[in-house]
Amino acid sequence: MSCKHYKIKVEGKVQGVWFRKHTQEKAQALNLKGFVRNEPDGGVYVEAEHENETILNQLVQWLYHGSPLSQVHTVHVERKAHCQNFKGFRINR
């Protein structure tokens, strides 16, 4: 199976509400590789990869709800065919 790579932008009230930490925990539970970071415009950016697109879509569905205090307005997903071969899932600062 070939690796799938998602670039995801989440918009809404997603900073200052533990969104990155909860995203990391969910991604690690799904055995995803990649990272999450805050963006200057107030959104959150995620890159995630896995061989199974169904698993990646589970993360995308979770991102619509996010952390308990977040209020997600939109989730934009860009699907790529090739992976970056990340070593784990981390929070970038």
| CB-CB neighbours of 4 under 10 Å | 20
Residues that are catalytic: 20, 38
Round the average pLDDT of the chain to a whole number and report it: 96
Torsion of CA 47, 78, 43, 40, to 10 degrees: 80
DSSP letters spanning 12-66:
EE-SSSSHHHHHHHHHHHTT-EEEEEE-TTS-EEEEEEES-HHHHHHHHHHHTT-
The predicted structure's pLDDT at residue 53:
94
Is the pLDDT at 19 greater than 90, yes or no?
yes
Contact assessment for residue 74 and residue 56, using Cβ atoms and an 8 Å cutoff: no
Is the pLDDT at 1 greater than 80, yes or no?
no
pLDDT band for 81, please (50, 70, 90 cuts): confident
The predicted structure's pLDDT at residue 2:
83
Domains and CATH numbers, the chain: 4-83 (3.30.70.100)
More confident site: 3 or 43: 43
pLDDT band for 86, please (50, 70, 90 cuts): very high
- Name the one residue in this structure whose structure tokens are 């977040």: 70
More confident site: 82 or 72: 72
